[in-house]
Structure 1
Amino acid sequence: MPEGDAVWRTARRLHTALAGSALAGADLRVPALATRDLAGRRTLEVVPRGKHLLHRLEGGLTLHSHLRMDGSWRLLTVTTGAGVTPDHPATRRHTVRAVLWTDSALAVGDSLGMLDLVRTADEARVVGHLGPDLLDLAFDRDEALSNLVRQPGRPVAEALLDQRNLAGIGTIYASEPLFEHRISPWTPVGALSRHELGSVVDTARLWMVRSCRLGPTVPMTALARGPADGWLPGHYRVFGRRGRDCPRCGATITEQPIGEAPRERVISFCPTCQPTP
């Protein structure tokens, strides 16, 4: 599932291409929206909220989408003598759920996990359950930490992944900061000091902001000693490296599911650097 930084970059691309322009047309391929006509409405802005996208339109409407596991928004430039039209091979896939176009851009929402049209004033209906957004300039760190400690017996990785506590963290930004601070994903939240928990959140936020600015890379830290360790800048140290050597201690990195369905996720960790309490 795309994480907060990837959704932020998607929102920025859509905003750059569509903001200020009137929609020439919109094809919303979900039954509840199939007859809605958005043509002529100007895009005001496209903004992220955690892992959600809010496409705000003139007239007080918001097109809300969530990418879930496999979704994406693709931007295509189709120049013809008559301008942009939705007649493009990318729009013909049976998994496409939304097609938006202006005089200069074509946006295709494929395999979207959610697609809703709500009044902008009622956006809380679709994102009001989310905790503080790590990529919000006004991120409320104290509220996020207070949310995390409400269930002191909960494994810390599971709590970090719960978007009701704080929004934007997925398995990458749960796995990597916990490895950075040598904390087992199964450590109960209540066993960590507020300073320890805050350090994990601060690291996740720092790396997500850096990813938004510089691209999806994990920054080099003092723990990385060079190519001999099998880890280079831009490569994750535990995420997606099951069965490979830990770049810090040489033990074998493993992955295990955490949480209960439907929120179960797979977390990556080093069992030696991050011993289960």
Structure 2
Amino acid sequence: MPEGDTVFATAARLRAALDGRRLEWTQFRVPSLATVDLTGRTVGSVRSVGKHLLIDVGGPDDDQPDAGGASVHSHLKMEGAWHVHPIGTRWRRPGYQARIVLRTATHEAVGFDLGILELTDSPDADLAYLGPDLLAEDWEPTEAIGRIEARPDEPIGLALLDQRLVAGIGNVYRSEICFLRKVLPTRPVRDVDVPGVVDLSRRLLWANRLRTARTTTGQSAPNARMWVYGRRGQLCRRCGSPIERDQLGSIGEDRVIYFCPHCQT
């Protein structure tokens, strides 16, 4: 499931293939951007902001000096992915799922089933509503702690998922963080050690930001990577009680929570 660490790693792969390189051919496969052509422009940077990914592209060549730069803004949502292929390599997902193709002289980056895809000339202003990015190089926890503590009556499980308070946590980390801090996701923020929760959130995402397979237990085996997420009915790794699953917030799979009813209070 794409969360802040997944988007950070995706940006790193795209940066290696695109950063500083001239786009030899581009194609947007969404109606609103069907006529956009970034051919001839140079990628200035690729960066992640929480769960959002930005590809900053400079202005066109000197024969069109009046046009400025822009940013390709994407969000993976549930099904999206960016793949990087050497030119001539077969895509790993079907072509009908492709939403954008950015091609350099040696590689092409293809965005598949992106939940959000848009072109903007004000990316930082567009994302100013987000809380502090847990994976920012200049991370400092004070603002994130303050934003969460300003919601004393809100369940901690909902506060962690609110990208306006802190950016990067999704459903997997929400469940795992609450388990490791021994709190039920329904516990109100006022009864939670928020600095401890924020510190753990940063450490977990940072440790996983470039891993191929996410783990919160420190184990790499596929059936040993998570404490509670996706483990309904299986035994808690700490106390042996069956892990439970429930809903928190809006009905839908994106609001599913996993927890140990014995270890978490």
| TM-score scaled by length of structure 2 | 0.89
Partners in 1 of 2:125 and 2:157 — Cα distance?
27
The aligned residue for residue 61 of structure 1 is 70
The aligned residue for residue 258 of structure 1 is 248
Question: Which ranges in structure 1 are unaligned for 5 or more consecutive residues?
Answer: none
| Shift in Å, 1:173 | 1.4
Counterpart residue type for residue 227 of structure 2: R
Change (3 A) 1:263 1:159: farther
Deviations along 1:248-269, whole A, 9 cap, x unmatched? 1110101112122689511111
| Shift in Å, 1:143 | 0.8
Question: Which ranges in structure 2 are unaligned for 5 or more consecutive residues?
Answer: 60-68
Contact 2:3–2:168 (CA under 8 A) maintained in structure 1: yes
DSSP 3-state at the match of 1:94: helix
| Shift in Å, 1:136 | 0.3
Change (3 A) 1:252 1:91: closer
State the identity %: 39
| Shift in Å, 1:220 | 4.5
| Shift in Å, 1:39 | 0.1
Contact 2:149–2:194 (CA under 8 A) maintained in structure 1: no
Correspondence 1:186 to 2:183: no
Correspondence 1:140 to 2:173: no
The aligned residue for residue 215 of structure 2 is 218
The aligned residue for residue 114 of structure 1 is 116
Counterpart residue type for residue 202 of structure 1: D
The aligned residue for residue 36 of structure 2 is 36
| Shift in Å, 1:140 | 3.2
Correspondence list, 1:79-158, <5 A = 79=88, 93-119=95-121, 122-158=122-158
Correspondence 1:75 to 2:84: yes
DSSP 3-state at the match of 2:96: coil
Counterpart residue type for residue 207 of structure 1: L
The aligned residue for residue 23 of structure 1 is 23
Counterpart residue type for residue 208 of structure 1: L
Counterpart residue type for residue 115 of structure 2: G
Partners in 1 of 2:202 and 2:167 — Cα distance?
11
Q: Which ranges of 4 or more aligned residues in structure 1 deviate by more than 6 Å?
A: none
The aligned residue for residue 202 of structure 1 is 199
Contact 2:43–2:58 (CA under 8 A) maintained in structure 1: yes
Partners in 1 of 2:157 and 2:131 — Cα distance?
16
Change (3 A) 1:143 1:163: same
DSSP 3-state at the match of 2:197: helix
Contact 1:258–1:264 (CA under 8 A) maintained in structure 2: no
Partners in 1 of 2:119 and 2:250 — Cα distance?
30
The aligned residue for residue 239 of structure 2 is 249
Change (3 A) 1:30 1:114: same
Change (3 A) 1:151 1:261: farther
| More off after superposition, 90-99 vs 183-192 | 90-99
Counterpart residue type for residue 108 of structure 1: V
Q: What RMSD, in angstroms, separates the aligned Cα atoms of the two structures?
A: 2.3
Contact 1:91–1:99 (CA under 8 A) maintained in structure 2: no
Deviations along 1:106-156, whole A, 9 cap, x unmatched? 11111000011111xx11353121100000022231111111122211110
| Shift in Å, 1:40 | 0.5
| TM-score scaled by length of structure 1 | 0.85
| More off after superposition, 241-250 vs 89-98 | 89-98
Partners in 2 of 1:212 and 1:92 — Cα distance?
27
Contact 1:96–1:110 (CA under 8 A) maintained in structure 2: yes
Contact 1:175–1:239 (CA under 8 A) maintained in structure 2: yes
Change (3 A) 1:262 1:246: closer
| Shift in Å, 1:31 | 1.6
Change (3 A) 1:269 1:92: closer
Counterpart residue type for residue 204 of structure 1: S
| Shift in Å, 1:200 | 1.4
